[in-house]
Structure 1
Amino acid sequence: MALPRSNPSAQGVAASGVSAFVDALEAHPGIDPHSLMLVRHGAVVAEGWWAPYTPDRLHLLYSLSKTFLSTAVGFAVQEGLLSLDDAVADHFPEFRDELPEASRRILVRHALAMASGHSGEMAQIAIATDPREPVRGFLLHAPEHEPGSWFAYNQPANYAVAAILQRAAGTDLVGYLRSRLFDPIGAGPMSWQQYPPGRSLGFSGLHATTETIASLGQLHLADGVWEGRQLLPEGWAEEVRTKRVSTEREGNPDWAQGYGFQVWMARHGYRGDGAYGQFCVILPEHDAVLALTAATEDMQAVLDAAWTRLLPALGDASEGDAADAALAERLGDQVLPPSEGASAPAGAVPSSWTGAGLRATRTDDGVVLADPQVTLTLPVGRPGWTVVEGDGTAPPVAVSGGWSGDAADLDLVFLESPHRLHVRLDPSGTVAIRWGTTPLDFAYTGTILGQWAPRPLA
């Protein structure tokens, strides 16, 4: 079931503090907020989406997916599918004997804490070494440090844990978690990127709603209890949030507090997070959860704003109905700034453009933008954002912008992701592109548009 709703003041939250937090996000030139949900004492007290993003839209969580993986591991441990003290290599007998001895000492608990002992990120090395079985490609490279002693943000360590779980369960992660987690917390259909087909990435690639993020945070905050019953195995939430390894070499203060099982310790509470501003911040000392999606390369600035603007509002019951109503009105009317432009060029322009792996063709109503996998028909020069829903093969996007003289400048927001693509159609007949935030992918095989093609929901 969905989380209950309440007014901020009824849960001891000053609405003006939430508004101040939103002010800080919107004032930062490098932050595009997409959604926000604040939970206090188990009830949602503030929520908002910046159009063209909407509450029911799935959003790519990037590494926030890891916290869902560590949650899945709790069920798997309880069911005897794996143990934290299993050697990762023992789950892969087909290649175990060819691995370096140091790799055979990596335990599930080490991998789950990104403490495999490797000194850095191994994702591309693992894929290049063995594209058919990246776990083998990863483990063929001996760790430079003793497993468990050294933190490095290292995706294949988590990927290996996800592979173990899915092998043992005989299903992918969405299928495994559907009855155990997603249905009980009221999460609808979602998708998890796979590589190879049939195996969810685990460390990234989950597409879920903001409320699903908030519900996961509330479940962990309540030590695994949901609506009065012990949903997570008893004690697993504490296992997840226990510091496992030092991260003092990390540059930002909220990344240097230590790491648990797929969560970061922080100056306040702990959190799961994903690239470009996907957050599930859990604040036990305030009985609160902050779920947020965004597009930013300055994730520390988001947390700084939360600590300075939002935290003082938690526990302040001095404001009343008027402040609550003002906040609700504000959060119900948020819009990302659109681009502007005319609906037609000032003079003669080409009928088609090519470049950057794209082809554009002018029509009476706008342009058709295509790559080898996906075709999008986009209006040009309309005010605000125009949402173009996918047709099963094309991704849902929102477009703004239009003609300026003899060039067209369009902004495309890929609505199930944190990403915005600027497309320029030049008078010379070329297409030029610029990403607001550059997409990340473990095993990229798509095209500019095709990488966002809809994946099956489960």
Structure 2
Amino acid sequence: MTALPRSAPSAQATDARGVIAFLDAIEGVSGIEPHSIMLLRHGHVIAEGWWAPYHPDGVQQLYSLSKSFTGTAAGFAWAEGLLDLDAPVISYFPELDADITDPRSRSILVRHVASMSAGHSSEQWDRALATDREEPVRGFLLDPPDGTPGVTFAYSQSTTYALGAIIQRQSGQSLIEYLRPRLFEPLGIGEAFWGRHPAAGRDLAFSGLHVTTDAVARLGQLYLQGGVWDGRQLLAPEWVAEATRVQVDNSGDNGSGSDSDSDWSQGYGFQFWMSRHGYRGDGAFGQLCVVLPEHDVVLAMTTEAVPMHLILDAAWTHLLPAFDREGSAEADAALKHRLTGLQFPFPDGEEVPDSEFTVAHTAVERLRKVSLTAQKLTLQEEDGTLTTLPLLTGSWPPPTGHLSARAVQTDADTVRVDLQFVQSPHKLVITGDLRSGTFDADWRVDPLGHVSRLSLFDLANPEPREAP
């Protein structure tokens, strides 16, 4: 893989002090834990950092940022004649034709599912699964829209799933297989995998893609360059233009609780959100690909953030003024220092004593016992499976498999263990009570999906796991 070019911010007409101010605005803020950042200007990486135990080569769950990769697959399929934006969705599923009789469902076009405007006024995925878990497209189409296709916006997983299902049916390949020679290989994107729907056997399309932060940055740069990469037109410029302009108005009630001035109310394209500045792909908990054509900038980030809007607010407040503002070598050096040796904050305390805890409460139902020494954490599940991880004093150890852990005695009676699942945004916080010998285990932020009964192996190694 050819590395993206690197440059000092000042060499790309950017004041590094603005980037530092952006980091100041999001680090240490309640509900925001940054995991990685790559900032590109004029095609050069001018700032990058990973908060240990995350690292540059690690792939991460993108959640709904996966949709922008599905939208890109749709762009290739459209250019190859596999996809007609003005064809009814039902036309790609002739075996369902006799079942789908409501004219409202039959009027849903491909462009409507590509733009979240199928006509339903609310999230529809759970209803689709309840109707037909084996074939969610059938469940989707059997629920007639209560609004107007092409006009009524609702952010709904069913629409992207249907779009992905059409691409996979027409190409005879999974989304990963289809994108590999068209997008991943030309852009130099290596490891990638996608969670699948367990019954239909398709890549999930609306979520579940795992790639590196670098891959997210490259996708943004491809769109910023109008679909051109290394002088070659990969993605049709017409698709780039259509995907990144308003296809449907979402300034009304869009289910996000946002007001008309928010970044979730500026219109929706083909699997991209329009923003107050530029456009973006985004996923739950702050997986972001922000493209700012007016500044020739791409911002790629992975985080565990509940108030995602605060990240965008900070970008508009601190990053935008930094572009085309004179920088300095001193500011460049200060930013480089700031982004070196990053790691998650951790509570103060003493080295953990040798101790063993049995379960009192756990969000991961199979977890039954936790054993600690100063150098080692052992987790035992209900079937006897053991997971052993190293512990280091004062820092996060490199991941073992896809897990990393830190532990500290926070007071005379309490031990805290943070178990980081580094292919996801998520952390399991284990609190051991030295008096009772029991532990509680809770997610810092609950993952999406039905994960409570999964084993630690399945949670830490999502590649073989089919998505719910």
> Is TM more than 0.5 here?
yes
- Name the SS for the 2:98 alignment partner: helix
Q: CA offset at residue 190 of structure 1?
A: 1.0
Query: Hey, what's the Cα distance between the residues in 1 that align with 2:99 and 2:452?
Result: 29
- Name the SS for the 2:463 alignment partner: coil
> What is the root-mean-square deviation in Å for CA atoms of aligned residues?
2.1
Matches within 5 A, 1:75-224: 75-99=76-100, 100-196=102-198, 198-224=201-227
What is the aligned counterpart of 1:420 among 412, 427, 443? Answer: 427
CA displacement 1:391-429 (0-9 Å, x = unmatched):
xxxxx1121123443443211111111111111233435
Cα 1:423/1:27, change in 2 over 3 Å? closer
> What is the aligned partner in structure 1 of residue 51 from structure 2?
50
What is the aligned counterpart of 2:280 among 250, 253, 271? Answer: 271
295-304 vs 94-103, greater mean Cα deviation? 94-103
Q: CA offset at residue 382 of structure 1?
A: 3.3
Query: Hey, what's the Cα distance between the residues in 2 that align with 1:371 and 1:103?
Result: 46
Q: CA offset at residue 165 of structure 1?
A: 0.5
Matches within 5 A, 1:247-396: 247-249=250-252, 250=254, 251-252=258-259, 253-316=262-325, 318-345=326-353, 352-353=358-359, 355-356=361-362, 357=365, 358-362=367-371, 366-371=376-381, 375-379=386-390, 382-390=393-401, 396=402
Query: Hey, what's the Cα distance between the residues in 2 that align with 1:230 and 1:377?
Result: 48
Query: Hey, what's the Cα distance between the residues in 2 that align with 1:184 and 1:255?
Result: 31
Query: Hey, what's the Cα distance between the residues in 1 that align with 2:53 and 2:177?
Result: 30
CA displacement 1:265-321 (0-9 Å, x = unmatched):
1111111100111111110110111111111111110000000100000111x2222
Cα 1:353/1:446, change in 2 over 3 Å? closer
- Name the SS for the 1:52 alignment partner: coil
- Name the SS for the 2:395 alignment partner: coil
Query: Hey, what's the Cα distance between the residues in 1 that align with 2:352 and 2:237?
Result: 62
Q: CA offset at residue 325 of structure 1?
A: 1.9
Partner amino acid, structure 2, of 1:451: L
Query: Hey, what's the Cα distance between the residues in 1 that align with 2:176 and 2:301?
Result: 22
428-437 vs 160-169, greater mean Cα deviation? 428-437
Q: Which runs of 5+ in 1 are unaligned?
A: 391-395
Q: CA offset at residue 355 of structure 1?
A: 4.0
Cα 1:81/1:375, change in 2 over 3 Å? farther
Query: Hey, what's the Cα distance between the residues in 2 that align with 1:430 and 1:121?
Result: 40
CA displacement 1:225-256 (0-9 Å, x = unmatched):
11111011231110111201111124151111
8 Å CA contact retained: 1:340, 1:383: no
Q: Which runs of 5+ in 2 are unaligned?
A: none
TM-score (norm 2): 0.90
- Name the SS for the 1:387 alignment partner: coil
Cα 1:139/1:455, change in 2 over 3 Å? same
277-286 vs 426-435, greater mean Cα deviation? 426-435
TM-score (norm 1): 0.92
Would you say how many aligned residue pairs link Structure 1 and Structure 2?
Answer: 448
Partner amino acid, structure 2, of 1:229: R
> What is the aligned partner in structure 2 of residue 393 from structure 1?
none
Query: Hey, what's the Cα distance between the residues in 1 that align with 2:247 and 2:142?
Result: 25
Partner amino acid, structure 2, of 1:78: A
What is the aligned counterpart of 1:233 among 222, 232, 236? Answer: 236
8 Å CA contact retained: 2:39, 2:300: yes
8 Å CA contact retained: 1:340, 1:401: no
